[in-house]
Copies of this chain bind each other. A is one copy, B any other.
Amino acid sequence: MFQAVTKTLSVASTTYVCRGILLGIRHYCKKTPTKLRVSQALSGADLGANVKVQGWVRSVRPQKANVFLHVNDGSSLQPLQVVAGAELNDPLLTFGSAVEVTGSLKKSPHKKQPVELEADQITVIGECNPVDFPFKIKERHGLEYIRQFPHLRCRTNAFSSLLRIRSEATTAVHSYFRENDFVQIHTPIITSNDCEGAGELFQVEPSGPEIVEDEYFFSVPAFLTVSGQLHLEVISGAFSRVYTFGPTFRAENSQSRRHLAEFYMVEAEISFTESIEDLTKVMEDMFKSATEHVLAHCVEDVDLFHKHVTPGHRVSMLKCFILSTLRITYTEAVDILNRSSEKFTFPTDWGCDLKTEHEKYLVKHCGNAPVFVTDYPYDLKPFYARDNQDHPERTAAAVDLLVPGVGELCGGSLREERLDLLSARLEEYLDLRRFGSVPHGGFGLGFERYLQCILGVDNIKDVIPFPRFSHSCLL
């Protein structure tokens, strides 16, 4: 029973009542319809069943004898078509309103959908004034337009597809690592390190009084992480395969379409590496495996993008994951750039960093396919990158994966494990700054407490890799 103030539109004759005699007592029992999500209803498994479907109206088409609705609940791109007698129509049945429909699932006479719901009853659960609603029926709004409505853009086809794809891609990444024996590590968000030695950091202090030195919450200045690498390296001292997948931060004052202050990173560390191939293999496999998973599980959603949002992209994307990834060295890359007739804004001398324009040219040169660039000049890479000791050039065992449209997708390196070489290089760095509405409900679960609960561990600090608490932000 809905506790909400709702308007119920009912056809009396459709209430299914059955009489039963049990232990000599006469019972009246009303058959409860099975609650289904739209994706379940569309699967066709419940044809003929008395069901209840709830969702948001994506279209209303009143006709003489009938009214047709499309109802979507986020479980699939495809909405469920509802067919009701004209007497069930109501001015409150508008685009964007939330409804509950009971009725029976029938095979649809139309090719477009396999199943439709013949409604007995339609209840408007949440009204929606179509004049105030920023999205209009039958209109395909641009991504820029919908971005203005962060609280509503999930109501559009494009963004709801994006959310389902993002969720599935997250699953795909975790599945790849799990199937390949990697252990997932929740590397900390708040850290007193600065992995990259570069980049703008966000500082973190309790809100309220101004930050006074010597009175830091964590006893030391604390920042939002720019990379989980150093923490993964710690764990990779006992686990030969670890990864992390979580948000990272840059306080870069940029309005560009390539930058975010908060973004998610997948990072992996593999111990006992013998050459850069130990990395490129995992990078390539992960990339292909995740993509294959997404393409297999999000057919309609990916199609929406490839057909309507980013037409023509499918071929280029398929190339990325079908082709075997090429591999060139930085020195070869510089040669390619210098032999080209293209005019670049930035220099292409050996020793200069590859800029986006160079990366894009290299990808194009390689047939618009992904390419690994390896062995960058030692001086371009952070202190922890492994010295190839290949005088006179001197390169580091670092690699970037360049892909069409994006440029650098992945970056990695073998880490300098030789204590003497690392100490020497750290010396050079000592002077640089350092640091690294409808009725709805929900619940929250404290994951550490859950672990304490199943393990019996008394101290919460023992069930998290790097505990942070006041006056303590070690590592």
User: Separation in Å of the A237 CB from the closest CB of chain B?
Assistant: 6
The residues in A between 351 and 395 inclusive whose CB is less than 8 angstroms from any CB of B are: 386
Q: Is A437 an interface residue (CB 8 A)?
A: yes
Q: Is A1 an interface residue (CB 8 A)?
A: yes
Complex Cα gap A452–B266 (Å) = 15
Q: Which residue of B lies closest to A73 (CB)?
A: B240
Given A233-B442, A239-B163, A442-B415, A457-B262 contact (CB < 8 Å): no
Q: Which residue of B lies closest to A422 (CB)?
A: B437
Taken residue by residue from 202 to 235, chain A's Cβ proximity to chain B (1 for < 8 Å, 0 otherwise) reads as 1111111011000001100101100101001111
Q: Is A289 an interface residue (CB 8 A)?
A: no
Given A202-B204, A459-B257, A125-B447 contact (CB < 8 Å): no
Q: Is A28 an interface residue (CB 8 A)?
A: no
Complex Cα gap A181–B408 (Å) = 33
By a CB distance below 8 angstroms, the chain B residues around A167 are 183-185
By a CB distance below 8 angstroms, the chain B residues around A247 are 186, 189, 246-247
Report whether B269 and A305 are in contact in the complex, using a CB–CB cutoff of 8 Å: no
Complex Cα gap A447–B397 (Å) = 23
Q: Is A68 an interface residue (CB 8 A)?
A: no
By a CB distance below 8 angstroms, the chain B residues around A444 are 227, 229, 265-267, 410-412
Complex Cα gap A155–B238 (Å) = 5
Report whether B445 and A271 are in contact in the complex, using a CB–CB cutoff of 8 Å: no
Q: Which residue of B lies closest to A175 (CB)?
A: B171
Report whether A183 and B155 are in contact in the complex, using a CB–CB cutoff of 8 Å: no
Q: Which residue of B lies closest to A470 (CB)?
A: B253
Tallying the copies of this chain within the complex gives 2
Residue from the set A163, A189, A262, A467 with the largest chain B CB neighbour count within 10 Å: A262
User: Separation in Å of the A168 CB from the closest CB of chain B?
Assistant: 9
Complex Cα gap A164–B468 (Å) = 20
Report whether A406 and B449 are in contact in the complex, using a CB–CB cutoff of 8 Å: yes
Report whether B457 and A143 are in contact in the complex, using a CB–CB cutoff of 8 Å: yes
Taken residue by residue from 276 to 302, chain A's Cβ proximity to chain B (1 for < 8 Å, 0 otherwise) reads as 101100110011001100100000001
In-complex Cβ contact of A54 among B160, B268, B271, B466 (8 A): B271
Q: Which residue of B lies closest to A5 (CB)?
A: B418
Report whether B462 and A143 are in contact in the complex, using a CB–CB cutoff of 8 Å: yes
Q: Is A417 an interface residue (CB 8 A)?
A: yes
Report whether B469 and A273 are in contact in the complex, using a CB–CB cutoff of 8 Å: no
Report whether A290 and B450 are in contact in the complex, using a CB–CB cutoff of 8 Å: yes
Q: Is A264 an interface residue (CB 8 A)?
A: yes
Complex Cα gap A463–B263 (Å) = 10
Complex Cα gap A278–B438 (Å) = 14
By a CB distance below 8 angstroms, the chain B residues around A448 are 260, 263-264
Report whether A163 and B188 are in contact in the complex, using a CB–CB cutoff of 8 Å: no
Complex Cα gap A411–B291 (Å) = 36
By a CB distance below 8 angstroms, the chain B residues around A4 are 417-418
Report whether A206 and B457 are in contact in the complex, using a CB–CB cutoff of 8 Å: no
Residue from the set A4, A151, A178, A290 with the largest chain B CB neighbour count within 10 Å: A151
User: Separation in Å of the A143 CB from the closest CB of chain B?
Assistant: 5
Report whether A54 and B240 are in contact in the complex, using a CB–CB cutoff of 8 Å: yes
User: Separation in Å of the A34 CB from the closest CB of chain B?
Assistant: 14
- 5 contacting pairs across A/B (C-beta < 8 A): A56-B238, A218-B261, A310-B458, A312-B456, A317-B455
Q: Which 5 A-B pairs have the closest CB atoms?
A: A412-B443, A74-B239, A313-B456, A310-B456, A206-B251
Q: With A167-B185, A255-B470 given, name 16 new contacts (CB 8 A).
A: A125-B272, A163-B235, A166-B186, A189-B189, A202-B204, A206-B251, A206-B253, A207-B221, A236-B440, A265-B447, A272-B439, A273-B439, A279-B442, A409-B445, A413-B441, A419-B437
